[in-house]
Structure 1
Amino acid sequence: MEEVGRFRVDLARAFGDGHGGVIGLAVSGGPDSMAMLALATEALDGRVSVATVDHRLRPEAEREAALVAGACVRLGVPHAVLVPDAAIVGAGVQAQARGVRYALLARWAGAGGIEAVATAHHADDQAETFLMRAGRGSGLAGLAGVRARTVIAGMMVVRPLLDWRRAELRAVARRRELPFVDDPSNADDRFERTRVRRLLDANEWLGPANLARSAGYLAEADGDLRAVVDWLWAARAVVDGDDVRVNATDLPREVRRRLVRRALAVTRAVAGLTEPAFGEASNVEAMLDGLEQGRRVTQAGVLASVRDGRWRLRPAPPRRS
């Protein structure tokens, strides 16, 4: 079928350098992932294995996992249900669940010799993410949304459906008479994504496909900038134990922003600093402003100073009691 050929091309594009091993599919039982299950099964000639994560957060999840298992039996595809080792409790349940989900999938993929895990993120997801992050004032990396290929928890993750619309995928599942379930949280206005989804549904002129395409262009630009920063780091950074020095002269602010974030991360890693928390999304504007003004500044347990445009970062001395 034409859509199977399209999926095959999109999967190859997501991989970039080609693939020949078993592909893992993260299938929740929703129409998007069930469509991916059907397309991958038809396109990959048996090189498919499926996992469903039951976070143990909703009583319906067990039934949904059983639905996926039944579909896999019908298609002749191996299936596993993955459950967390401990209950997910406390604040930020959705963020916790995402971390647990990818950790479980990575462990499953590693044990099964699976080359990569595919998820069913599609164009409408990408458009929703773009609008949510734009509303928060995100920069280039945030507006780029999810990537067609990335590494999470040490596992390669590919998203071959980023050019597909939600309605197309639902139609794929229906034509094959595959059962699916609609997540009730998709209708819960307490979630930001649900509210953005309603906005897009009511205003098709906003163009979800074009928003997703814009996110893709930004992902390309972000990837190019990452490559430039890698090159500059190799040429201009010197790491001597936990003493990091970077020549940041004559560079655009966005490049310096990324270099200072890299320098902070390297210094903390070498020094074994884990507190306070710091990550790729951490705001470094205050440190960057301080360095541009020639001041000594501290962030995330690291002291930074500058002389003639050359930064020096090292662990901050302990505070006096």
Structure 2
Amino acid sequence: MSDATDRFRADLTALIGTPTGQIAVAVSGGPDSMALLALAHAVAPTIAATVDHRLRPESAAEAWMVADWCARLGIAHVTLTPPADWAPQSIQADARAMRYVLLTGWAKANGAAALLTAHHADDQAETFLMRAGRGSGVTGLGGVRAVRMEGDVRLARPLLGWRRAELRAVVAAQAVPFIDDPSNADPRFDRVRMRAWLKDAPIDAAAIAQSAVACAEAAEALDTVANLLFVERRREDGWDMTGLPREIRRRLVRRVIRDVRASAPCEGQFGSATSVEGILNALEAGQKATLAGVLASARGEIWRFAPAPPRRSY
């Protein structure tokens, strides 16, 4: 396993530097996350957590399997569960949101240098194609980011350059136990259908994953430009949008709305890109629009943003 360990150490160091403390690993019990656990344990002090969403009868046994393996290796492990009143509406989306709430809270409480998840190149390719099918722009096509902040916790994905088959080879070489989640074969889920299509498609998943990396880099560059223009285009009465490409306007609008919301109380939650698209259309048409408690108006190419007046109550 030495070659795999050396490769993983290099990938992890490229993302977070040499760990100065223990690293936290999210482990579901599947082959990908068990490979991540084995690799992380080989290069740095490691703690592990499994989220049991309690959505399937088998989930408790899967968490126990991870805990048992961690005990054999001397890795501190905890099983995290949602609050008793948790009632997911969209199972995959709500489960993902709850998973990150639990995992980041645990990682922060333990002072971890980073929280690692086992997303890999095949996951990245599936995400890219699913989002392309939904008409996503460059940010969405950027897929899973290699490293980002999730609240106060640094979230890192050191396996994005690895293929699913390579990770299975890691667990096989070390006789690491794992469980295949039956939901990964359930065709009701978009990702499962995309995975099945990719298996026989005349297209290289690794190349698709590289395209996602290129999109992520482009999105980061566009955000950098928007942040610079946030300062350069600011006027006493708003922001001057003269001559700016629509994509830059879109990102600058998001940046300004965040600034307004941070500086003053605003009603409502900050919406999605679709909501930003609506306010962008309204402003380009010279109309007023409200988003997430922020009132936007346009006087020619000068766009103004301010906290929306409180709603009247009768």
TM-score range, shorter chain: over 0.9
SS state at 1:42 partner:
helix
Q: Name the aligned partner's letter for residue 212 of structure 2.
A: A
Paired residue for 2:242? 249
Q: Unaligned stretches of 5+ in structure 1?
A: none
Q: Are the equivalent residues in 1 in contact too, given 2:275–2:291 (CA < 8 A)?
A: no
Q: Are the equivalent residues in 1 in contact too, given 2:5–2:43 (CA < 8 A)?
A: yes
Task: Please state if 1:281 is matched with 2:278.
Answer: no
Paired residue for 1:25? 25
Paired residue for 1:211? 208
Residues in 2 aligned to 1:253 and 1:117: alpha-carbon distance in whole angstroms: 36
Q: Name the aligned partner's letter for residue 224 of structure 1.
A: A
In the TM superposition, what is the alpha-carbon distance from 1:234 to its structure 2 partner? 2.9
In the TM superposition, what is the alpha-carbon distance from 1:73 to its structure 2 partner? 1.7
SS state at 1:24 partner:
strand
Scaled by the length of structure 2, the TM-score of the pair is 0.93
Residues in 2 aligned to 1:296 and 1:273: alpha-carbon distance in whole angstroms: 17
In the TM superposition, what is the alpha-carbon distance from 1:283 to its structure 2 partner? 3.2
Paired residue for 1:266? 259
Residues in 1 aligned to 2:271 and 2:290: alpha-carbon distance in whole angstroms: 16
In the TM superposition, what is the alpha-carbon distance from 1:268 to its structure 2 partner? 3.5
SS state at 2:275 partner:
coil
Paired residue for 1:2? 3
Residues in 2 aligned to 1:245 and 1:8: alpha-carbon distance in whole angstroms: 48
SS state at 2:188 partner:
coil
* Residue 284 to residue 271, structure 1, CA distance change in 2 (3 Å): same
Q: Are the equivalent residues in 2 in contact too, given 1:102–1:153 (CA < 8 A)?
A: no
Paired residue for 1:129? 127
Paired residue for 1:61? 59
SS state at 1:206 partner:
coil
* Residue 69 to residue 234, structure 1, CA distance change in 2 (3 Å): same
Scaled by the length of structure 1, the TM-score of the pair is 0.91
In the TM superposition, what is the alpha-carbon distance from 1:119 to its structure 2 partner? 0.1
In the TM superposition, what is the alpha-carbon distance from 1:287 to its structure 2 partner? 2.0
Q: How does 1:1-321 map to 2 (within 5 A)?
A: 1-15=2-16, 17-44=17-44, 47-203=45-201, 205-237=202-234, 245-275=238-268, 277-317=269-309
Q: Are the equivalent residues in 1 in contact too, given 2:132–2:141 (CA < 8 A)?
A: yes
Residues in 2 aligned to 1:290 and 1:163: alpha-carbon distance in whole angstroms: 41
In the TM superposition, what is the alpha-carbon distance from 1:262 to its structure 2 partner? 1.9
Greater alpha carbon shift after TM alignment, 301-310 vs 176-185: 301-310
Cα RMSD of the aligned pairs, angstroms, is 2.0
Residues in 2 aligned to 1:87 and 1:201: alpha-carbon distance in whole angstroms: 39
Greater alpha carbon shift after TM alignment, 172-181 vs 219-228: 219-228
Residues in 2 aligned to 1:273 and 1:318: alpha-carbon distance in whole angstroms: 9
What is the number of residues matched between the two proteins? 312
In the TM superposition, what is the alpha-carbon distance from 1:226 to its structure 2 partner? 1.5
Residues in 1 aligned to 2:231 and 2:11: alpha-carbon distance in whole angstroms: 33
Greater alpha carbon shift after TM alignment, 227-236 vs 69-78: 227-236
Q: Name the aligned partner's letter for residue 198 of structure 1.
A: A
In the TM superposition, what is the alpha-carbon distance from 1:269 to its structure 2 partner? 4.0
* Residue 18 to residue 312, structure 1, CA distance change in 2 (3 Å): farther
* Residue 301 to residue 286, structure 1, CA distance change in 2 (3 Å): same
In the TM superposition, what is the alpha-carbon distance from 1:303 to its structure 2 partner? 2.3
Residues in 2 aligned to 1:53 and 1:238: alpha-carbon distance in whole angstroms: 48
Runs of 4+ in 1 over 4 A off after TM superposition: 318-321
In the TM superposition, what is the alpha-carbon distance from 1:83 to its structure 2 partner? 1.3
